[in-house]
Amino acid sequence: MGKKMKVEGIIPAMLTPFTGAGELDVDGIGKTVDFLIDNGVSEIMCLGSTGEAAALTKEERIKVTETTVKAAGGRVPVMVGTGAPTTRDVIEQTREAKNAGADSVMIVTPFYEIPTQEGLYRHFATIAETVDIPIVLYNIPPHTNVEIGLHTLERLVEIDNIVALKDSSGNLSYFAEVMRLVGDKIGVLTGGDDITLPCFALGCHGAILALCNIAPRMVVDLYQAVRQKEMAKAEKLYYQLLPMARAISIPENFPAPLKEAVSMLGRPAGLARAPIMPVSAPEKEAIRRALKIANLM
C-alpha cells in the first residue's frame, strides 16, 4: 500500500449560499471561503449535506466546485462531495469534480438504494479504480439507512486512494472501534457537531462539520486544545458550542437552522431549497440564544 494523503484538522462542510431569488450566490461562495480560511481551517469541503448537493443541478454543482477552488486559490485543499445512489452516477460526478479542480472527493454511501456489504465494497472499490483521486468515505446512516460495516471498512482501507472516513453515525462505540481498527491506516474524522469533544479525545484526526460555517475559529481552538491536552479549555469551548451544535444537528429540515444562524451573523446564506422549510419563530429564538451562549452575538 502506498503512502496515503493525510486528511486531518478542521474542515468545514461549507453551505451553499443562495440569492434572494434562490439562485447560486457566486460572490457569497467567495466570501464564505475567505472567511473560513481566515479562521484557520485546514481544508474546505463543498457539496455535502450542508451544501445541499442533492438540491443542485449538475451545472450548479460544477459551478460551486469551480468557484470554491478558485476562491481557495491553493491556500487550502478543496474536497468535493460526489455521492449519489448509483455507482455510475458517482463515477460521473467524481470525474466532473476532478475536472473542476477538486483535490479530493467525499462519497456518501448510497441512499435510497440499499446494497449489501459486498455491494457497498464493490461500489467504493469500482469508483476508486475508475477515477484517480483521493476518496473520503462518508458514513451517515441516519440519512441513508446504509452503514459501512467494520469488516467492509477494513477491506476498503487497503485501497490506495481511499484516504479517510467521515463518520456522522453519532455512535461513539462504532467511532471508537473505527479508530482502533483503521486509525493508523486512514484519516478518521467525525461529522458529529454535538460530539466533537469525545471524538477528539479518542484521538481522531479531525472533523468535517456544519458547525464550522458558524464558529470555525472556536472549533479549531477546541481541536487544538484537545491535542495539547488542555482539557479544561477544551471542555469550556465544547459547552459553549453545544447548544448551537444541537440546534443544527437534527436530520429533519437540515440545513435550514444552520443557514438561519449564518444569516443572523450577517454572512451569505439565503434560504434552503424546497422541500426544506424556513425555520419557525421559536426555532429562531433558540438559535439566537445558542449564538449568545457561544459569545457569537
SS (HEC) of 28-79: HHHHHHHHHHHCCCCCEEECCCCCCHHHCCHHHHHHHHHHHHHHHCCCCCEE
Q: Which of 98, 121, 166, 238 is catalytic?
A: 166
Which class for 19: exposed (0-12), middle (13-18), buried (19 or more C-beta within 10 A)?
Answer: middle
Single-letter amino acid code for the residue at 38: D
Residue 83 grid cell? 455521492
From the candidates 138, 174, 223, 238, which is the catalytic residue? 138
Indicate the length of the chain as a whole number.
Answer: 297
Cα 52 from Cα 44, distance rounded (Å): 15
Annotated catalytic, 166? yes
Residue 233 designated active-site: no
SS3 239: helix
Residue 140: phi, psi to the nearest 5? -145, 70
- The residues that are catalytic are 138, 166
